[in-house]
Amino acid sequence: GAVVSQHPSRVICKSGTSVKIECRSLDFQATTMFWYRQFPKQSLMLMATSNEGSKATYEQGVEKDKFLINHASLTLSTLTVTSAHPEDSSFYICSARQGGRAFFGQGTRLTVV
């Protein structure tokens, strides 16, 4: 299947700082990528849809000014968690679609202390 790479896999940051997470499609181009959040022992919840060359579309309840998404190329989308707080600690996972199938990155474990 297609390969989606996410970096970093783990990050610990201080409260109030910003963290950037990268999502790359390694062997295909993706005009659309998706960002999900998963709290412990819970399911994945769609946060936003990242569109290459245009603004991201956010799901209801997700603050666009807090979770900045940039999709500057056909192989890279970034999610920046701004002014992070402990409640933002979670597992963030990106996804890109190829041939009708959604492939996921390895996920980023964010811990805000």
Q: Judge whether 97 and 32 are in contact, CB under 8 Å.
A: yes
Residue type, 31: T
Binding pattern to another protein, positions 88-107, x when CB under 8 A? Answer: ---x-x-x-x--xxxxxxxx
25 binds another protein, rule: CB under 8 A: no
**34 scored as a contact of another protein (CB under 8 A):** yes
State the distance between the two ends of the chain, measured CA to CA, in whole angstroms.
36
Q: How many CA atoms lie within 13 A of 11 on its CB side?
A: 25
Does residue 32 touch another protein according to CB under 8 A? Answer: yes
Among 14, 60, 65, 87, binds another protein (CB under 8 A): 60
Q: Find, among 94, 96, 107, the residue nearest to 1 by Cα.
A: 96
Interface residues with another protein (CB under 8 A) are 1, 4, 6, 32, 34, 36, 42-46, 49, 59-60, 91, 93, 95, 97, 100-107, 109
